[in-house]
Structure 1
Amino acid sequence: MSSIRLLDAGLFGLAAVLLYKVLSRKSGLPLPPGPKGWPLIGNALEFPSSKAWTTFAKWGEQWGGIMSINVMGQTIIIVNDPQIAVNLLDKAGSELSDRPVLPMASLCGWDRVLSAARAGPRLREIRKLIGRVIGTRGSLVKFYPSQDYQATMFLKRVMDDPTKLDEATRKTAGAMVLHITYGYKIQEEGVDPLVGLADRALSEFSAITTPGAFLVDMMPALKYVPDWFPGASFKQQAKKYHKSCDDLADVPLNWIRGQIAKGEAGPSYTHDLLMDKNISEERMERIKWSSASFYGAGADTSVSVIYSYFLATTLYPEVEKKAHAEIDSVIGRDRLPGYEDRASLPYVNAICKELLRWLPIVPLAVPHRATRDIIFDDYSIPEGSLVMANCWKFLHDPDVYRDPFTFNPDRFMGPEPEQDPADFCFGFGRRVCPGTHLADASIYIAIVKAVSAFSVSKAIGPDGKEIIPVADTTEGVIVRPKPFECNVKPRHEKIPQLVADVLAHHEAAI
């Protein structure tokens, strides 16, 4: 069959699917409003190729808090109103707990991680495994020493070379989550192999899950074309990315199993789960991918928030001044803060909240998939529809957050604080992130240590003028600030010795 006949057959099939969807809509109610599309391809030509969250927010100004588009026969419901997101995704949780099949992600093996797992017994068991170890704030206490150690190591890494802030941030994020997940301590010299592996795999994941990045996600039938077919280079790319995904799960798991066999494994998430007797092959697969999911999501979350802190304090020096005043008042200058100080540091806690809101880590929540026809607010949401919550819009809504593009922790202070961004940042319904408490603890300890130890200021360019960075992010499902320049130095002369003392204490306790 010629390529033209293949195209004709594909268009016929697409038309048949569209006709079936129209005829099979049971409720008779309309879809939520949205831009009118073209025959067969719908709104495919309008679908944003970058920063979809800003385009969706603009569409929401015209079409309202809940709207719909059609891309090559796929109905997509976009939610730009936070209350609608809660009412729909939380209250219809069982019907919207599924994930879509993302052809490129599946070809690369990423359908095995928690965030992309389909609804069913496997998903429930992986979430149960994670909840068993880190499901409550109390269960995290045993991990506090690891988190405190890595947050202090971050201070040392930055002081060793302040010009490599980005590298120190990525190394610390990887080190912290590797230590908690597998009990693995990274090598300080050069790029640690497991940190490098995580950076590569998660960068690839972000690329393949960017909306509109691959045509196969809009036309799933393309996954069946031969590797040699014109335009099928994505299949070769998928094979390469599949290996990275496999390695992300296999390499650290094999390492800790070796440590256990030698009797040298320390406490960790995976170690706790591997202590069960008579682990079946199926259970081992779920332990492996729950660990990889935990490891992968935690690393990117910490990188984004820590790096955002330095961007925020570069642009808003008054924030750092207030934070330093609080630290000096509560902690003084003779020690570094820890978890025991958290309740006494409201402004530092407000900074942590504002970091989640200002440049959200996941601007668009991972899509939910309707497993049956749903009626919501006199609209039809047909079975198979994708529901996307625009978290970026929720967190920059001027009706919720005053002057939303300004970094201002004071919005969370006083008797009438603005809404906690954590309500929107960690998912909805039955797909809420099970590692929320761990993320919260990791963010706090990294930020409070950085506040206590450093003074941040604008870098000076070759022309002698201050370099003013731009508050912008990378693309992808999980984003981080774009690289920027700033000056970082210890905020007083005792800091290097305090850091050395804390590290010596931790190392003596190991």
Structure 2
Amino acid sequence: MTFAVGDLVLLALLACFTSSRLFFSRKYPHSLPPGPKGWPLIGNAFDMPKTHSWRTFAQWGKKWGPIMSVKVLGTPFIIISNPDIADEMLGKTGSLYADRPTVQMALLTGWDRALSGARYNARFREYRKLIGKVIGTKGSMAKFYPVEDFQANMLLKRIFQNPEDPAAAIRKTAGAMVLHLTYGYKISEDRPDHFITKAEFAMEQFSDIHRTGAYLVEFFPILKYIPAWFPFTEFKRKAAECIGPCNEMADVPFAYVEEQLGKGEENNSFAADLLKDKGISSEKLTDLKWSAASFYAAGSDTTVSVVYSYLMAAILYPRVQRMAQAEVDSVVGKDRLPSFQDRDSLPYIEALVKELYRWLPIVPLAVPHRAMKDNVFQGYYIPKDSLVFVNVWHFLHDPAVYKDPSSFNPERFLGPDAEPDPIDRGLFGYGRRVCPGAHLADVSVWINIVKAVAGIEVSPAVDEKGQAKMPVPETTDGIIVRPIPFECLVKPRSEHLLHVLEEALKDGENVN
């Protein structure tokens, strides 16, 4: 085997980096949580799963216990497989674990400015304050109900206009809703909207660069200083592709708001409210811009994933679709579409939404926390800079808690022996890193699901032999996941429904 000069230089640098990590590694005064034995220097680097890591972590938890650890190039990874431990560790002692790890690919692409990956510092607290001021409580979301209701009605219209691709209508609606709320922007209906196209592409890249263990630079940060023509630096080309879309995600719609306000036009959006202060510094402006971009991410991906999951569940479990439709018909009737005022009267729909959250959770492996200082937890030593992973997918698929967890059954959340609400088991994060857009996401999901139930009949697509093409209940990989693509047939539940929808859309045309 022969090596080029670049290969030899890179191998030497990696050897020096790894040796220094080993030489300067500390001796721990207490034992780390249990876990598989690793190799010298590299630890468990080769044991780390390359895809759908939450499944592998769940298997490890069965063997090594609800709090376990592995070491990757000297960095301890603490993996939590018990929600009570996660509550205590990240909630009650949350200040110790409020930080995020440095994601090298985020630094290289500019995504480190987003709230989800922000370090626990003044900028992080400013982001949360700005977002919390607008959508921090259930009550504060009420002023957005008209926009949410209108866009959920538009979901039905968009699906009926292009029934061959309901997933596209769901993506368009989620993006339209959050752009409307965040920037006061109404999308183009007769052609692909450039704001939505840019945002979707950027969010796909965001999810990809945050995949656990996907890029070598996360294990060897020194690689970011190596020229892009060296071996093993493909990540640099990927990072270069992401910089432009990342910037556009925040810059383009924010510039739209600034232009509107400059012309004296009406804009009642989140971003417009933040821009009312005329003496904004450049640093403050960056905070406003990225808090708005984070606002977008908080609502769009959750809605897309959960509504798409509903179409899948309606195909695989037609009884669920029939029961949900029967409840809506009984409570709301067929002469209007359901609204937020109906929520308390639709317990089966509420259970349906909970089961959608549980069945295919959108963030199955919560964004990792970072230990901010050395500490001892339940007798185990957790060194500073340890990464803490919470296996939310396992929490929501634990057969000791959820009967037959792979099955879709909303009734598990009804009655005196209801199973735990997924929101209480880390669905939107933990401690000081709980998603500040949780109320926005929940409102958006509920209104879109109840409209879909009321308006759409979903059935499986068929092949050339007339056989049903049933979807597989699995998700994509990444930090934010969606159901894997599938085909289905969708149609209005009745001709009368189309007339009801037309009237509802006329009533909402002037929503700002």
Q: TM-score range by the shorter chain?
A: over 0.9
Structure 2, gaps ≥5 residues long:
none
Q: Which of 445, 468, 482 is equivalent to 2:484?
A: 482
Aligned residue number for residue 370 of structure 2: 369
Separation (CA, whole Å) in 1 of partners of 2:462 and 2:10: 59
Equivalent position of 2:50 in the other structure = 49
- Corresponding letter in the other structure for 1:235: K
Q: 2:14 aligns with which of 10, 13, 16?
A: 10
Residue pair 1:256, 1:265 contacting (<8 A) in 2 also = no
Deviation at 1:238, TM superposition (A): 1.1
* AA matched with 1:486: C
Corresponding residue for residue 34 of structure 1: 35
Shift of 1:509: 5.0
How far, CA to CA, are the matches of 1:194 and 1:133 in structure 2? 22
- Partners of 1:186 and 1:192 within 8 A in 2: yes
3-state SS in 2 of match to 1:425:
coil
TM-score (norm 2): 0.97
CA shift digits 1:295-342 (9 cap, x unpaired):
123211111011001001110001011111111110011100000000
> Normalized against structure 1, the TM-score is what?
0.97
State the Cα deviation string for residues 44-88 of structure 1 (Å, max 9, x = none).
111110000000001111001011011122210011111111111
Q: Are the equivalent residues in 1 in contact too, given 2:21–2:73 (CA < 8 A)?
A: no
Q: Structure 1 residues 491 and 18 mapped into 2: Cα distance closer, same or farther (>3 Å)?
A: same
- Counterpart of 1:419, as a letter, is P
Specify the alignment match of 1:208 in structure 2.
209
Identity %: 53
For 1:199, the equivalent position in structure 2 comes to 200
Query: Equivalent residue for 1:491?
Result: 493
Shift of 1:3: 4.6
The aligned counterpart of 1:457 is: 459
C-alpha distance in 2 between matches for 1:191 and 1:5: 48
Q: Residues 118-162 of structure 1, C-alpha deviation per residue, up to 9 Å, x if partnerless? A: 011110011000001111111111111111111000000111121
> 2:507 corresponds to which residue?
505
- Equivalent position SS for 2:402: coil
3-state SS of 2:416 partner: coil
Q: Is 1:184–2:188 an aligned residue pair?
A: no
Task: Pick the aligned partner of 1:472 from 461, 468, 474.
Answer: 474
Q: Output aligned runs, 1:15-414, within 5 Å.
A: 15-23=19-27, 25=28, 28-414=29-415
SS in 1 for 2:79: strand
Deviates more, 1:100-109 or 1:6-15: 6-15
Distance 1:411 1:265 in 2: 46
Contact 1:396 1:404 in 2 (8 A): yes
Structure 1: which 4+ aligned runs deviate by more than 3 Å?
none
Q: Contact conserved, 2:305 with 2:481, CA < 8 A, in 1?
A: yes
Letter in 2 for 1:244: P
Amino acid at match of 1:302: T
Matched to 1:447, the amino acid is I
Distance 1:445 1:5 in 2: 57
The answer for the alignment partner of 2:437 in structure 1 is 435
Query: Distance in 1 between the 2:12 and 2:229 partners?
Result: 20
Measure, in 1, the Cα distance between the counterparts of 2:184 and 2:50: 39
**What SS does the corresponding residue of 2:336 show, helix, strand or coil?**
coil
Which range is displaced more, 94-103 or 414-423?
Answer: 414-423
* Residue aligned with 2:165, SS: helix
Which deviates more, 227-236 or 420-429?
227-236
Q: Is the 8 A contact 2:257 2:267 kept in 1?
A: no
Report SS of the residue matched to 1:21: coil
Report the secondary structure of 1:277's partner residue: coil
Per-residue deviation at 1:477?
A: 0.4
SS in 1 for 2:131: helix
Q: CA deviation at 1:448?
A: 0.5
**Does the CA contact (< 8 Å) of 2:208 and 2:478 recur in 1?**
yes
Give the deviation of 1:231 after TM superposition. 2.7
Instruction: Tell me which amino acid in the other structure corresponds to 1:473.
Output: T
Shift of 1:6: 4.7
Root-mean-square deviation (Å): 1.3
**C-alpha offsets along residues 440-476 of structure 1, whole Å, 9 cap, x if unaligned?**
1001100000011111112221111111110011111
- 1: CA distance, partners of 2:359 / 2:499: 33
Shift of 1:247: 0.5
The CA deviation at 1:38 is 0.7
* Distance (whole Å) between structure 2 residues aligned to residue 232 and residue 457 of structure 1: 46
Q: How many Å separate the matches in 1 of 2:6 and 2:469?
A: 57
1: distance between equivalents of 2:6 and 2:231?
A: 12
Amino acid at match of 1:128: K
| Equivalence for 2:428 | 426
Say which SS state the counterpart of residue 469 (structure 2) adopts. Answer: coil
Post-superposition Cα deviations, 1:175-212, rounded to whole Å, max 9, x if no partner, equal 11111111111101232101100110011111111112
Kindly state the Cα deviation for residue 230 of structure 1 after the two structures are TM-superposed. Answer: 2.5
- Contact persistence 2:298–2:441 (CA under 8 A): no
**Length, aligned pairs only:** 507
Which whole-Å CA distance do the structure 2 matches of 1:386 and 1:16 have between them?
Answer: 20
1:492 CA displacement: 2.2
**Which runs of no fewer than 5 residues in structure 1 stay unpaired?**
none
The 3 A distance-change label for structure 1 pair 247 and 509 is: closer
Q: CA deviation at 1:262?
A: 1.4
The one-letter code matched in structure 2 to 1:10 is L
Q: Distance in 2 between matches of 1:52 and 1:349?
A: 30
SS in 2 for 1:459: strand
Which letter does structure 1 place at the counterpart of 2:39?
Answer: W
